A and B are shown apart, each in its own frame.
Chain A
Amino acid sequence: MTAPPSTRPSGVPLLAVRDLHVDYRSGDGDVALVNGTSFELERGEIICLVGESGSGKSLTASAIMGLAQRRTRLRVGGTVALEGRNLTALDQRQLRGLRGREMGMIFQDPAGALDPVVPVGKQIAEAVARRRSGRAEIARRVVELVAQVGISDPEHRVRQFPHEISGGMCQRVGIAIAIAGDPKLLLADEPTTALDVTIQAQVLELLKRVRDERGMSVLLITHDMGIAAQTADRIVVMYAGSVVEEGPTRDLFSRPGHPYSIGLIRAVPRVDSARVARLSAIPGSMPEARERPSGCAFHPRCPFAVDRCRVEAPEPVAIGARRVACHRAGELASGLLNPSRSPSADPGEGQP
């Protein structure tokens, strides 16, 4: 379940994100959307960036790809290092050279990410042509990719347009395009959210196979704890623009350290557990970026919050193999606090 550490020269991780900030510059002051995110991704590893809407997970991916920087209202700070090379120092022309070759991206809306007036085979060929030349060579590679992503009836499919094929098939084409340039890093932003559950299982299987066969690293962004549990080697949990917990998948699920992770794991209804009288919910909802509370952003929803949480933002501390950004992480880990006194659902959704 962990990445093969053999392919790891000189101890430099494939991707190192350090203190990443994304600010929105508005008329009345800057709003911090991503607030000091740090994590690393090893070669051949699948990391899931988990969080609910407004957690900043997609913006983090967008900043890694250098796409957030193109938006004039956004300011990106901190470093994103791909094999030790700082991407935030590059200009858009240099970044364009990296995208597709070093980093590939898969999007949530598979049909929307494709060109509606170009046959899908040609779109894959365009992606291949960025890296290879010669018609025969490109054609051979397209056939290879199409087979690899499991597109059935390829001769017929490559001539079809995106609107003629299903969402699952579009996502397979999207994956073929993303891996056409043999990137080292694959970013997938909610790649299965628009797909049916049986097709979702096929696409996740495909992502894992691509990782196994090509040793690619995958940064998978999802809101679904189930997908994270079944796909990731490590998990990074984000809340209100910051990483609240990070660790190996098994540890994080068996002993979640942050009150938010605890609440999130409990709130997910499971197909394999009997019906309960009440689902365990986290009271309230994620604050808007403009209205983030002082101190720890989770404190208004947290059952363990104390005075310190209201004034001081917690720094991540090591708990076993995990990093947890919570003032009471130590007490929680040692069992001094009872996590079963968890956020019970109260009807009111507004914060106090």
Chain B
Amino acid sequence: MNMVAEVTQGAEGGPGGALVELRDLVKHYRLRHHRRGRQTVRTIRAVDGVTFSIHRQSTFGLVGESGCGKSTLGRLLLRLEKPTSGQVTFDGGDWLAGRGQELRRARKDVQAIFQDPLGSLDPRHRVVDVVSEALEAHGVIAGKRERHDRSLELLESVGLRAEVAKRYPRELSGGQRQRVTIARAISVDPKFLVCDEAVSSLDVSVQAQVVNLLDELQETLGISYLFISHGLATVRHVADEIGVMYLGRLVERAPADELFSSPAHPYTGALLAAAPVPDPAVGNAGPPLRGEVPSATDLPSGCRFRLRCPRAEAICAEVEPEMVQCSPAHEVACHFPMSSPVPLRRPGGLAVDDRPPGGAPGQPVPEREEKEAAR
């Protein structure tokens, strides 16, 4: 298949190297309010200084609750929004610098699939034309006939047979529609795919099909994914590395297995504890996290999570924790991380993990850890 050959070539530098690097990426929105003749300006800190990199041929999972900035971050990487500040390097070059024709050409390398496939497909185009259009727009294939044939080939590679290609989006099931958007995205041989809640609207049995398809495509085409999702369980099964966001900040980043086996940030722990496990024998993981996410215009001082945190102490209100390494590939932004393979030392020389586990009431996570250990 020529598709494979081309992409292998595109993946020079081999797997492991960074394809996308974000440095201190910031997106603030200014909200103007007019009230009784006075204007007030509030700032929503949607993305507030995020740094991480996505490796070649790997999947970075970005999780967090609504309003944490995960989708805004995806839109920044797609250049659908302009960041307030910060840098993004893509494939060695400055991703934010390109303009006009240059940007148009560059967009070919970065494609996206979204949550609602029906909303991202033109209702008046047959499925095969949806894919052909992408091939035409990016000038991948010149001849109309050839584009059509290539589109059928692409649709087949995502598991849609020729008779489906003749249908309109509304005549397809949700899973089939998402397959079409995937076919369109890979039609231009991208290096990087932003999947924003790509399987969230699908039924469970179909979700698994699409996740498996994405996995296969990564293997054959060598694409990197940014997989944005609110569902931790799904991310666990697609991502090589996971970042957890809370109110515009990345609070923890770790290889997928390590994040689940030893979460360091109390928020990550709470997310894990709150995810309902489809097994009544496992049981609920303790009392749920109290309170709700504060407004992004009116952030608490210090650590943004402290108002809901079972471990918060005085220092958390004063100093915003920096990202620190707690194991070679594991970073956390917390003054009192839960458990870390290498005990962290604070400037005073005290091991942070000296805190008694489960000391304070309402700590969901240690309970779950015990339960899992017991099983």
User: How many B residues have CB within 8 A of the partner chain?
Assistant: 58
Chain B positions within 8 Å of A169 at CB level: 292
Q: Out of B163, B257, B276, B281, which one reaches A254, CB within 8 Å?
A: B281
B274 touches A200 (CB 8 A): yes
Compute how far the CA of A271 lies from the CA of B159 in the bound complex, rounded to whole angstroms. 28
B204 touches A271 (CB 8 A): no
A282 touches B205 (CB 8 A): yes
Interface 0/1 of B273-292, CB less than 8 Å to A: 11111111111100111111
Interface locus among B83-91, B125-133, B207-215, B314-322: B207-215
Compute how far the CA of A254 lies from the CA of B159 in the bound complex, rounded to whole angstroms. 33
Q: Out of A199, A346, A350, which one reaches B161, CB within 8 Å?
A: A350
Decide yes or no whether A166 CB sits under 8 A from chain B: yes
Interface size class of A (residues with CB under 8 A): 35 or more
Given contacts A250-B281, A264-B205, contact A201 B288 (CB under 8 A): yes
Given contacts A274-B257, A345-B212, contact A253 B281 (CB under 8 A): yes
Interface 0/1 of B204-244, CB less than 8 Å to A: 11111101110110000000000000111110110000000
Decide yes or no whether A340 CB sits under 8 A from chain B: no
A302 smallest CB distance to B (angstroms): 12
Instruction: Give the number of A-B contacts (CB < 8 Å).
Output: 169
Sample of 12 A–B contacts (CB below 8 Å): A197-B65, A200-B274, A250-B280, A269-B207, A270-B236, A276-B237, A285-B173, A285-B174, A346-B159, A347-B213, A349-B160, A349-B209
B205 touches A227 (CB 8 A): no
Chain B positions within 8 Å of A346 at CB level: 159
Chain B positions within 8 Å of A59 at CB level: none
Decide yes or no whether A86 CB sits under 8 A from chain B: no
Decide yes or no whether A104 CB sits under 8 A from chain B: no
Interface 0/1 of B151-171, CB less than 8 Å to A: 000000011110110000000
Within 8 A of B (CB), among A220-244: 223-231
Given contacts A230-B284, A350-B164, contact A272 B277 (CB under 8 A): yes
Chain A positions within 8 Å of B141 at CB level: none
B34 smallest CB distance to A (angstroms): 18
Decide yes or no whether A53 CB sits under 8 A from chain B: yes
With CB as the reference atom, state the residue of chain B lying closest to A274.
Answer: B257
Chain A positions within 8 Å of B279 at CB level: 229, 253, 270
Q: Out of B158, B206, B212, which one reaches A278, CB within 8 Å?
A: B212
Given contacts A226-B276, A227-B276, A281-B208, contact A286 B203 (CB under 8 A): yes
Q: Measuring CB to CB, which residues of chain A are less than 8 angstroms from any residue of chain B? A: 1, 52-53, 152, 166, 168-169, 196-202, 204-205, 223-231, 249-250, 253-254, 263-265, 267-272, 274-276, 278-283, 285-286, 345-350
A345 touches B209 (CB 8 A): yes
Chain A positions within 8 Å of B206 at CB level: 52, 281-282, 285, 349
A221 smallest CB distance to B (angstroms): 14
Chain B positions within 8 Å of A267 at CB level: 204-205, 207-208
Chain A positions within 8 Å of B372 at CB level: 272
A198 touches B277 (CB 8 A): no
Chain A positions within 8 Å of B280 at CB level: 1, 229-230, 249-250, 253
A253 touches B66 (CB 8 A): no
B256 touches A275 (CB 8 A): yes
A263 touches B66 (CB 8 A): no
A198-B274, A269-B231, A347-B212 given. 7 additional CB < 8 A pairs?
A52-B203, A196-B65, A223-B204, A229-B278, A268-B204, A270-B279, A345-B209
Among B175, B216, B284, B288, the one with the most A-chain Cβ atoms within 10 Å of its Cβ is: B288
Chain B positions within 8 Å of A198 at CB level: 65, 270-271, 274, 288-289
A229 touches B164 (CB 8 A): no
Q: Out of A166, A201, A231, A347, which one reaches B289, CB within 8 Å?
A: A201
B208 touches A349 (CB 8 A): no
B65 touches A230 (CB 8 A): no
Chain B positions within 8 Å of A254 at CB level: 281
Given contacts A198-B65, A347-B159, contact A275 B204 (CB under 8 A): no
Compute how far the CA of A239 lies from the CA of B233 in the bound complex, rounded to whole angstroms. 24
Compute how far the CA of A265 lies from the CA of B163 in the bound complex, rounded to whole angstroms. 32
Compute how far the CA of A152 lies from the CA of B212 in the bound complex, rounded to whole angstroms. 43
Q: Out of B209, B233, B236, B276, which one reaches A281, CB within 8 Å?
A: B209
Chain A positions within 8 Å of B66 at CB level: 196
